[in-house]
Structure 1
Amino acid sequence: MQAIAELRYVPNTHARGLQTRQSRCLGIMLPEIGSSGAAKFLEGAESCARQAGYTLLLMTTAADTAREVECFSTMRQQQVDGVLWVAATFTDAHQEWQQHHALPTVVLAQDFSPHGLPSVLVDNYHAAFDAATYLLDHGHRRVAMITGDLNDRAVGLDRFRGFQDALAARGVPLDPHLVESGGASAQGRGVASYESGFQAMTRLLRQGPTAVLAASDNLAIGAMQCLLERGLRVPQDVSVMGFDDLDIAAHPTVRLTTVAFDFHQLGMLAARTLIDQLTEGAAPPPVQLSPYRLALRDTVRTL
């Protein structure tokens, strides 16, 4: 111990990994890190990993398939023990990589269990069903939706299906003119942005909705900005509801009614699932659902 102190010795983790065949490092792949949701997820995963003696190697993917496959290859080269993947779609390229490389992976935000990947996500279908039902319970019948990218099953398709089925359960016909996609960003990626929410709301205004359910808070805030610039009031003229409960949703100037997810808990659950798989060798559950709730604020009124 005296020699360690005098020489300021630090163990070489790479050398140790060669002996143990474990790097005690986990990879984490995120589409982006700019949102509060991504930051909270990362905090949760890092907290769980640190408590278990693991470090994290972070890479961003912009939800681009080629970039994701490249990140998987880099993670393997860096000898991470496993990967947490915040995913959007599963393609043939992903399938081919998974078939040729044995790298334990837990998927976030999507159900890829049919592809053999344990998945941790929220129940997007029922969350959207409950959100649409909340608007219907407040007397709205011309309820519009700004969808996410429908190629993204969880955020896009499942939330849209929940919206559809809530209308059907109340006997309200789905008007296709009251559905607009907000899935494409200004850069052409399938990422919902303020701008795409603004543009979708501009198109919806011609249809005269009394309420709008947006598939993300970013889309909802873009829609609100559009309404305000057109001289319309939220919620007096049009009610707006979002998804995610990002930090900005609770800001005093926004006060957005939305569907809230605990991203920190989601990150911890995903990391714990992967670590248990690595340390105990037990097969993780195919799908685990994290809870949601309606965060009721000021952007929905009763007709």
Structure 2
Amino acid sequence: MLDISLLDFFHDLTNPQLGFLLRAVGMSVVAAVVCGIIGCYVVLRGVAFIGDAVSHAVFPGLAIAFALQGSVLLGGAVAGATVALLIAAFSQRRQLREDSVIGIFFAAAFALGMVIISRVEGYTASLTSFLFGSLTGVSRTDLTIGLGVSLLVIAAVIAIGPQLNAVCLDRETARAMGIPVLLLDAALYLFITAAVVISVRTVGNILVLALLITPAATARMLTNTLQHMMLISAGIGAAGSFIGIYLAWAIDLPAGATIVLTLTVIFLLIWALSPLMHSAFRKESH
């Protein structure tokens, strides 16, 4: 049973003493929008594994940054970008399947993170929020950086969208057309890294894959147009994140897990209703 009504939740969002709650909502919505957009490429290319790999690749970066008392977000971004570029480079050889390369670097990055954890005192207590998400972990600086990074990623996607679409649809044809597949792969992986890094504060890097995949997969059932898919995915992600944080706040649940479960419920509802919606649409068109 909900201990806090939706009206009370909106009142809490305007309470200066609960500023962390508004920042958490802002960061989760911003992250959901950019994850929803980038996730469409991940779903269409069938490389969901890359999201999982990048989310774990930031792990050693967080640990190193913590050990050096630096910015954990910057550390995660550097580590994630490094692994993303390595995956993009190594997967260009046709003898190697992309998912195999992803698996290799995913395991290596996570293993490196485990080694670093074993050597850093106090790591577990201080960085648990990065694994599972936290409502109180978002600072004003995090929110500002997250918003700025999201706007840059969205602008970049708009700028190189046609080339990214071509690579996603047919890599070999794109190569034959002279499209720089390696550079576009690297760009997509860096976009995924950015989306993952700004999401770990509220969702946590263990669950961030759901923010990339679930809204995009849900949107895929509703449209065949990439532009519409991106808009719907971003909307579903934002709505699911807002509702998830409300439920987490009202029932005292983990924020990241509640957001993921909310998005999963939306996916299941659309999965159940989409055949009926498509049937109704066909009848109207006739």
Range class of TM-score, shorter chain: under 0.3
TM-score w.r.t. the length of structure 2 is 0.25
Larger Rg over CA atoms? 1
Counting helix residues as a fraction of each chain, which structure ranks higher? 2
TM-score w.r.t. the length of structure 1 is 0.24
Higher RCO (CA-CA < 8 Å; seq separation 6+): 2
